[in-house]
Structure 1
Amino acid sequence: MNRILIAAAAIILTTPLAMAGPIDSACIRSDRGARQPNLCQCAQQVANQTLSRADQRLAASFFRDPHRAQVVRMSKRDADNAFWARYKAFAGAAEAYCR
């Protein structure tokens, strides 16, 4: 029984607390993110608190295709407008928290 508890504790203590999410992964692959991994991790933490996984995937796509952000921002669709409001809130929170 003690061996099982020790093995379980070792697994828990060596497992990262948070796996990289879509924002962190996209940020790290970007030119700036590769030089600032802590900033990418911080942005992911804020994203986890403010955006759904679907929103995070859409926001992460902006790293690969910045024009897509412009298309979403200028869209007349209600869903895109709602996303953009959430995205702006995320960006503001990340800017304030991840300094």
Structure 2
Amino acid sequence: MRKVIVAAVLTVVSAGAANANAIERACLSSARAGASPQLCGCIQAVADRTLSSSDQRMAARFFKDPHMAQEIRQSDNASHEVFWKRYKVFGATAESHCR
């Protein structure tokens, strides 16, 4: 019975992992100097603690399109404003934890 439970948990975790790590993948695929598996993994860990999965998907898009971050920040859309507040907390936390 224990093996069945462990197998089920691993299946669920693996399925979630396929949709997870959006920030880490975007970080590693970016052409930014200093992007390393260690740094990108640290940033992803902070994202996991501070951003929802949909927030992470949006933030990951900033790696390919930095101008999008500026558009979201300046947007009059209320959901963008709320997202940006969470994103600022994420950025400050990642900066202090992942130096």
So what's the TM-score if we normalise by structure 2?
Answer: 0.78
1:75 is matched by which residue type in structure 2?
S
Determine the structure 1 residue equivalent to 2:42.
42
Determine the structure 1 residue equivalent to 2:88.
88
Distance 2:29 2:82 in 1: 27
RMSD (Å) for aligned C-alpha atoms: 2.7
Distance 1:71 1:35 in 2: 24
Q: Quote how far apart the aligned CAs of 1:35 are.
A: 4.4
Q: Quote how far apart the aligned CAs of 1:33 are.
A: 6.5
Q: What are the within-5 Å matches in structure 2 for residues 64-79 of structure 1? A: 64-79=64-79
Per-residue displacement from partner, 1:33-55 (whole Å, max 9, x unpaired)? Answer: 67422100000000000000000
Task: Give unpaired runs (5+ residues) of structure 1.
Answer: 13-18
Per-residue displacement from partner, 1:22-68 (whole Å, max 9, x unpaired)? Answer: 00000000112674221000000000000000000000000011111
Distance 2:35 2:26 in 1: 13
Provide runs of 4+ in structure 1 moved above 4 Å.
none
Bigger Rg over Cα: 1
Distance 1:27 1:94 in 2: 13
Task: Give unpaired runs (5+ residues) of structure 2.
Answer: 11-16
Determine the structure 2 residue equivalent to 1:23.
23
The alpha-carbon distance between structure 1 residues 35 and 43, as it changes in their structure 2 partners (threshold 3 A), is closer
Distance 1:40 1:33 in 2: 12
Identical residues among aligned pairs (%): 48
User: Aligned pairs, how many?
Assistant: 90
So what's the TM-score if we normalise by structure 1?
Answer: 0.78
